[in-house]
Amino acid sequence: MERRLKIVADSNIPFLKGVFEPYADMVYIDGLNIGRQDVRDADALIIRTRTRCNESLLGDSRISMIATATIGTDHIDFGFCDSRGIEVHNSQGCNAGGVMQYVFSALYGTASRKSIKLDHPVMGIIGVGNVGKKIEHLARYLGFDVLRCDPPRAAKEGPEGFCSLEYLLMNSTIVTLHTPLDETTRRMADSDFFSLMRPGSFFINAARGEIVDEAALMEAIPKLGPVIIDTWNHEPDINTALMDMVDIATPHIAGYSYQGKLNGTASAVQAVARHFGIEALYDFYPEYDEKEHAPVHLDLKGKNQGEITSVFQYNYPIFTDDFMFRMAPENFERLRSEYHYRREICID
């Protein structure tokens, strides 16, 4: 009798339960608690960023496929996976629209609260991949000047349209991070980084916490303008002293839009299906109510800053997330797992 496929999945991944059951034995476990014993006789893992995929977890398993329903991959040891022939798939671009919405709701919201006029703003985008390109598109639509720093893209495409990190920091009124976390970006935002930023400029991190040296950021905050932090060092045990100093603090939910979660799950399911030849799921996409959950199309042309702020806050009242987090930062993981996904916005 042919052995049945076994898949271990993070129980917090939405829209997944029931999808693989006709084809595989499914085991759902909270991502933080997936252990060596759980995966020993499994064929595939479907995870989020909370499951560290390395030799410690996978050393004596028969896993041949890991699909993460996230953009980030810093939780996966690619060297070990390569050595074992384990295929790894990440859901590139799945939550780009949600992060774009977060950035602009936060930007306009804090500008309103602090009576900052966004007059000829210059947005410096560090990392211009799927997320950064979405942010660039909306920034230009709103009349911002944009500076882009992305050394890997500049190396491939040529330097035109890109600038150095130093030039970006010295000439931007808004600096927003959208790089992956790797050895070239870990603690990139250090004391030298902040010393180059213009006084009063915005700083936004909705990428990965460890890109920022939090001690250096805390020292720089008196010089900076609004500071918006969604990702933190040592999650979920975050630096509450830093949280108390920033203008918006949220528990790593910038990409938690309804569309982002649909896209992430669909991407992971399709990758696993193709790896194991489950043809019925090659084009899987979760069912959803388009009337209730489709992106909201916005026309912001001709609107002033106050009107734009109102539109962004109506579609995503970001200060509610900030308030809920500040009230109970120890509930970091619960706030994420029980998050009410928001509808994305899009600009025609």
At 80-102, the pLDDT tens digits run 999 999 999 999 999 999 999 99
Is the predicted pLDDT of residue 77 greater than 80, yes or no?
Answer: yes
160 is catalytic: no
Cβ–Cβ under 8 Å, residues 99 and 134: yes
Is residue 308's pLDDT more than 90? yes
Predicted local confidence at residue 288, as pLDDT? 87
Q: Which residues contact 119 (CB under 8 A, 6 or more apart)?
A: none
Q: How far is CA 55 from CA 39, 84, 275, in A?
A: 12, 10, 21
Q: What is the pLDDT of residue 155?
A: 92
* Contacting residues for 332 by C-beta, under 8 A, at least 6 apart: 235, 236, 238, 251, 252, 325
- Please tell me the predicted confidence (pLDDT) of residue 2: 67
- What is the per-residue pLDDT for 3? 78
**Known catalytic residue at 219:** no
Query: DSSP for 76-105?
Result: B-HHHHHHHT-EEEE-TTTTHHHHHHHHHH
Q: Using CA atoms in the order 102, 330, 218, 76, what is the torsion angle rounded to 10 degrees?
A: -70
Convert the pLDDT of each residue in 118-136 to its tens digit.
999 999 999 999 999 999 9
Q: Which of 48, 89, 178, 208 is catalytic?
A: 208
Report, as an integer, the average pLDDT of 229-238. Answer: 97
Please tell me if the domain spanning 5-90 has the same topology as the one spanning 96-255+300-347. yes
CB 142 within 8 A of CB 302: no
**Residue tagged active-site, from 153, 198, 252, 336:** 252
- Say what angle helices 96-113 and 258-276 make with each other, to 10 degrees: 160
Q: Is the pLDDT of residue 103 over 70?
A: yes
Query: Under CATH, which architecture does the 5-90 domain have?
Result: 3-Layer(aba) Sandwich (3.40)
* Active-site entry in 40, 52, 62, 235: 235
Residue 292 pLDDT grade (very low, low, confident, very high; cuts 50, 70, 90): confident
Rounded CA-CA distance 245/107 in Å is 17
For all residues of the chain together, what is the average pLDDT? 95
CA distances in angstroms from 332 to 95, 182, 249, 252, listed in the order given: 20, 24, 11, 9
252 is catalytic: yes
Q: What is the pLDDT of residue 347?
A: 87
The alpha carbons of the chain give a radius of gyration, in whole angstroms, of 21
What does the pLDDT look like over 1-42, one tens digit per residue?
A: 567 999 999 999 999 999 999 999 999 999 999 999 999 999
Task: State the average pLDDT over residues 190-196.
Answer: 98
Domain edges within the chain: 5-90, 96-255+300-347
Q: Which CATH class is domain 96-255+300-347?
A: alpha beta
In this prediction, residue 1 carries a pLDDT of 53
